[in-house]
Homo-oligomer: A and B are copies of this chain.
Amino acid sequence: MLISEFARAADLPVDTIRFYITKGLLKPERSTKGGSNPYQVFRKEDVTAARMIRLQQTLGYSLGEILELNEEYRAGEHSPERTVEVLQSQIARLEERKAALDQALSFLRGKVDWIKAGKPEGAPRLEDYQC
């Protein structure tokens, strides 16, 4: 799969993909085609990798952090224990974020209830929620 097809598959602009490659986030193979500037060929795992990057971004990781995480992941690829460790730490961060999100939801729902109750004393305060 060449870059434009990959771009469609990953739903990302070609330029963004090239940018990720320069950052080391994607490492496509090189084709024999393309002469002195050989074409880059992408595997279907690269599509998964690209989706993973976008997901991690929405979770608040910077590209630098994502790179670290992914390198760490690759480094322990042949040790199931290490792989599980890396995954667990990602799960932990995700759960933290989820907890914050739940707190925020509680706050907003509490506020709706408070308004529906005719705004009695003691409006819900965000400070009372650990998020």
Contact = CB atoms under 8 A, between A and B. Distances in A.
A131 B94 contact: no
A126 B55 contact: yes
Task: Specify how many copies of this chain sit in the oligomer.
Answer: 2
Given A52-B126, A58-B97, A126-B55, A105 B91 contact: yes
A98 interface: yes
B55 A131 contact: yes
Interface residues of A, number: 35
A90 to B, nearest CB: 6
Given A115-B80, A127-B51, A101 B100 contact: no
Interface of A: 47-48, 51-52, 55, 58-60, 80, 83-84, 87-88, 90-91, 94-95, 97-98, 100-102, 104-105, 108-109, 111-112, 115-116, 119, 125-127, 131
Given A58-B60, A59-B104, A115 B48 contact: no
A85 B46 CA distance: 41
Nearest to A52: B126
A80 to B, nearest CB: 5
20 contacts: A48-B126, A48-B127, A52-B126, A55-B104, A55-B126, A58-B60, A58-B97, A58-B100, A80-B115, A80-B116, A80-B119, A87-B111, A87-B112, A87-B115, A91-B109, A94-B104, A98-B98, A98-B101, A98-B102, A98-B105
